[in-house]
């Protein structure tokens, strides 16, 4: 959410943000709604002032006739005030709904484009893996090595269900422990976060109302989160932090759930697009400074790249175009890992910063050296998401005999160098 004063003073910026992000939003309608809101605030304040004045006169008037007349006037004012307040509540609902739809201003370096096909490659690490044999898909490799059961996964969990088993499960645990060790060494504090969450943190982070169709909802009006970002951002909701405590850095872990609405027919086999998964998320809260946000954005990207490089997975980094940014994102990088069976890169990580878009909604502040209250800035980045990362780990390390060489950094966690048939 942006400040309404900023919006009123920078209508052209909002219009440009809407255009660049391909968001259907009319800032003039919001300004008109805000004018009406302000008119009603003034009108209600005037009625309350008048009501208080007459109430004071009633208390001081001894003449019964005059007093009864004032009481009748007070009653009329009260009825009028109640009617105005009811109208105002409806006006506020509309105004608040529009405020939640205002897009954040993308950074000047964000390229033009309508969707992920317009994202721009900015760097590449490693060369796509070459084989002297026809490489197999992760599905075939994992089934042959008894690492996964997709048929029983669908039987138990429905469409996109899966079981990881034996070395498939152990490989996931190994990756989790490796990532936790690495990111903790970068100064990030570990959190295991709730994944069943109230509505407010979803609104605060921008996943509601825009992405409601992709969320699972319980019968208790709670939501299942698709990322630990949501609960981690809710941790300091409605709190004031100390400047000397910043930045706050977390590596947060949780199960994650996504309906994958709108993706029917895409990636229906294997582990690329599943309804239930697990993720380590890096989250940073920092001072209200664009320079600080940019610095930590690059740090988050570097951390994720470091993990990929130690795993030995070829990848490239793209900067997302305007049409592939979320409502609140100022700028986003995606890391896409090489998938040999598809002969292309697939997205595994996203790193974003938001300025105070999320923290204004969540009311997370700090006091600067002058005692002024400011909203902190927020950033997040995927450290690792499983089981998706297993695809590239397994496919890029397959051997001609169908075995899988375990990346060196994971061998100590698995206690062996090769996954092969027993």
SS3 185: coil
Residue 375's Cβ-side half-sphere holds a number of Cα atoms within 13 Å equal to 20
How many residues are present in the chain?
422
Tokens describing residue 312: 């030995």
Structure tokens, 354: 């938001």
* Residue 298 Cα distances to 347, 351, 353, 382, 393, angstroms: 18, 9, 10, 13, 24
Query: Is beta strand 344-353 parallel, antiparallel or unpaired with respect to 364-367?
Result: unpaired
Residue 221 sits at the vertex; the CA angle it makes with 215 and 222, to the nearest 5 degrees, is 60
| Contact in structure between 8 and 312 (CB atoms under 8 Å) | no
Give residue for tokens 């992920």: 116
CB atoms within 10 A of CB 326: 20
Closest CA to 205 of 381, 388, 360: 360
CA distances from 322 to 113, 328, 333 (A): 6, 11, 12
Q: How far is the C-alpha of 297 from the C-alpha of 334, rounded, in Å?
A: 12
Contact 301, 317 (CB under 8 A): yes
Q: Are 138 and 271 in contact (CB under 8 A)?
A: yes
The answer to whether 248 touches 292, Cβ cutoff 8 Å, is no
User: Measured between alpha carbons, how far is 67 from 59 in angstroms, rounded to an integer?
Assistant: 8
Closest CA to 380 of 254, 245, 214, 243: 254
CB 279 within 8 A of CB 385: yes
Q: Which of 205, 216, 225 is nearest to 363 (CA)?
A: 205
Exposure letters 51-66 (e unless 16+ CB within 10 A, then b) = beebeeebeebeeeee
68 vs 299: CA distance, rounded Å: 72
Annotated active-site positions, please?
258, 273, 347, 350, 388
């Amino acid at each position: 959410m942006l400040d309404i004063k900023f919006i009123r003073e920078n209508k052209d910026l909002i219009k440009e943000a809407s255009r660049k992000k391909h968001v259907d939003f009319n800032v003039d309608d919001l300004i008109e709604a805000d004018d009406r809101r302000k008119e009603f605030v003034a009108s209600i304040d005037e009625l309350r002032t008048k009501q208080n004045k007459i109430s004071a006169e009633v208390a001081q008037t001894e003449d019964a006739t005059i007093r009864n007349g004032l009481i009748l006037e007070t009653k009329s004012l009260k009825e009028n005030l109640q009617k105005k307040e009811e109208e105002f509540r409806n006006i506020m609902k509309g105004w608040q709904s529009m405020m939640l739809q205002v897009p954040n201003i993308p950074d000047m370096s964000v390229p033009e484009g309508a969707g992920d096909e317009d994202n721009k490659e900015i760097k590449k690490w490693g060369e796509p893996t070459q084989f002297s044999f026809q490489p197999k898909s992760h599905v075939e490799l994992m089934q042959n090595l008894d690492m996964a059961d997709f048929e029983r996964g669908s039987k138990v969990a429905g469409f996109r269900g899966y079981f990881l088993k034996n070395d498939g499960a152990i490989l996931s645990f190994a990756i989790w422990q490796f990532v936790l060790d690495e990111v903790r060494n970068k100064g990030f504090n570990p959190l295991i976060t709730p994944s069943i969450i109230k509505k407010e943190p979803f609104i605060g982070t921008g996943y509601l109302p825009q992405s409601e169709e992709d969320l699972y909802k319980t019968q208790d009006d709670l939501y299942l989160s698709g990322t630990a970002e949501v609960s981690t951002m809710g941790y300091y909701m409605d709190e004031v932090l100390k400047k000397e405590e910043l930045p706050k850095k977390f590596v947060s872990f949780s199960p994650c759930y996504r309906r994958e609405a709108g993706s029917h027919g895409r990636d229906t086999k294997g582990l690329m697009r599943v309804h239930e998964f697990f993720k380590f998320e890096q989250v940073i809260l920092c001072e209200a400074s664009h320079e600080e946000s940019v610095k930590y954005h690059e740090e988050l990207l570097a951390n994720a790249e470091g993990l990929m490089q130690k795993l030995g997975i070829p990848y490239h980094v793209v900067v997302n175009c305007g049409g592939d940014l979320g409502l609140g994102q100022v700028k986003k990088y995606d890391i896409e890992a090489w998938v040999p069976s598809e002969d292309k890169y697939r997205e595994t990580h996203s790193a974003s910063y938001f300025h105070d878009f999320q923290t204004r909604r969540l009311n997370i502040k700090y006091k600067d050296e002058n005692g002024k209250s400011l909203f902190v800035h927020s950033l997040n980045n995927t450290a690792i998401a499983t089981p998706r990362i297993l695809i590239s780990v397994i496919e890029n390390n397959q051997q001609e005999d169908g075995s899988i060489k375990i990346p060196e950094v994971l061998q100590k966690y698995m206690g062996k160098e090769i996954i092969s048939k027993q």
